[in-house]
Structure 1
């Protein structure tokens, strides 16, 4: 099971869950994975109305005991749990602490580049520490909305994660874990586009629709508006492929080295 908690809302948990982890596990297992969203206030996964890589279900905080059996049974990481921010993450972590992880949980903690994001990531990590004995191996951090994939730029953008020798950044993740595992998630408008289309970037990239041919056919029929529409979707398809090649495949490689998935 892969659990994605954060005590702060708005840090991109659903982006990490749906745009990164869901396609990775779908590709790895060759079948739909179970996607559980725990949030009494917001249902971010509802934006993905056309995705075909997950089976979605909601779990209310008054039903958290249902997690116990799921954790015990999912030793091959076929379940993603997207945990809401604020009080919800605290409730979920408290519930898991009661029964333990059975060694079946991998944790992904997302954070943006704001100072408050860093403080809440540390607060989340401290709660996970009460459950997880091997933080160094079983916790991964997702650095969300990265402006560049260049390492030097990432280290300066996410001072709240790496710290900086010339700037006072107080407590940072690297103070708690010597060499924390992380992957940057590059910010790109194609992510926004995919949500409006109800799909994931990965699925858009591997959509077999030949929009170029459709555009030519519409032009030949004199339907210029439809031709423009198909050109638009062709461009989005190309941008999605570029995002998969430039960002997602690198993350998938890192996840391969992290997860022990039975073949």
Structure 2
């Protein structure tokens, strides 16, 4: 099981869960992944109405005891748990602490580049440390909405994670964890487009629809508006493929070195 908690909302937990981890596990296992969203206030997974790589399920905070059996049974990492922010993450972590992880959980803590993001990531990590026997191996951070994938730029952007020799900060991840594992998730308009289209970037990239051919046929029929529409989707498809090649494939390689997928 892969659990994605953060005590702060709006840090991109659902983006990491659906745009990164879901396609990664789907590709590894070759079948749909179970995606559980625990959030009494928001249901971000509803945006992904056309995805075919997950089976979605909502779990209310009044039924958290169901997690116990799910954790015990999922020793092959086929379940993603997207945990809501604020009190929800605290409730989930407190519930898991009662029973334990059975060695079956990998944790991903997402954060943006804001100071509060860093402080809440540290708070989340401290809670996980009270649960997890081996946090140094089983916890990884997702640096969300990265402007660039260049290491130097990432370090400059995520001062709350790496710190900075000229800028004081009292809440830096690297002050609490030695050589923390992480992967950056580059911000891109294609992510926004994919949510409006109800799909994931990865699925859009591997959509076999030949939009170029459709545009040509529409032009031949004199349907210029449809031709423009197919050109638009062709651009999105190309952008999605570029994102997979330049961003997701690199993250997938990083995840391969972190997670043990049993087949």
TM tier, shorter chain?
over 0.9
For 1:157 and 1:257, locate their aligned partners in 2 and report how far apart those are by CA, in whole Å: 25
Distance in 2 (CA, whole Å) between partners of 1:150 and 1:24 is 22
**Unaligned residue ranges in structure 2 (runs of 5+):** none
1:77-92 → structure 2 map (5 Å cutoff)? 77-92=77-92
Distance 1:173 1:3 in 2: 19
Question: 1:103 aligns to what?
Answer: 103
TM-score (norm 2): 1.00
Segments of structure 1 that go 5 or more residues without pairing to the other structure are none
The equivalent residue for 1:243 is 243
Shift of 1:135: 1.3
- What is the aligned partner in structure 2 of residue 144 from structure 1? 144
In 2, Cα distance between the equivalents of 1:175 and 1:101?
Answer: 26
Deviates more, 1:212-221 or 1:159-168: 159-168
- Where in structure 1 do 4 or more consecutive aligned residues deviate above 3 Å? none
Aligned partners of 2:50, 2:213: CA distance in 1, in Å?
Answer: 23
Query: Which digits, 9 at most, give the CA deviation of each residue in 1:21-67, with x for residues without a partner?
Result: 00000000000000000000000000000000000000000000000
- Structure 2 distance, partners of 1:25, 1:38, is 19
| Residue deviations 1:95-136 (CA, integer Å, cap 9, x gap) | 000000000000000000000000000000011011012111
Instruction: Measure the CA separation in 1 of the matches of 2:82 and 2:75.
Output: 18
- Which position in structure 2 is the counterpart of 1:256? 256
Name the CA distance, whole Å, in 2 between partners of 1:196 and 1:261.
31
| RMSD, aligned α-carbons | 0.4
Q: Distance in 1 between matches of 2:134 and 2:66?
A: 24
Instruction: Give distance in 1, aligned partners of 2:111 and 2:185.
Output: 10
The equivalent residue for 1:2 is 2
User: 1:110 aligns to what SS in structure 2?
Assistant: strand
CA distance in 1 between counterparts of 2:54 and 2:239 reads 23
Rounded Cα–Cα distance in structure 1 between residues aligned with 2:127 and 2:100: 13
Distance 1:171 1:92 in 2: 24
Partner SS, residue 233 of structure 1: helix
Q: Could you say which residue in structure 2 is the equivalent of 1:226?
A: 226
Aligned pairs for 1:1-263 (under 5 A) are 1-263=1-263
Q: Distance in 2 between matches of 1:107 and 1:175?
A: 19
Distance 2:121 2:241 in 1: 31
Tell me the CA shift for residue 262 of structure 1: 1.1
Pairwise CA distance, 1:171: 2.4
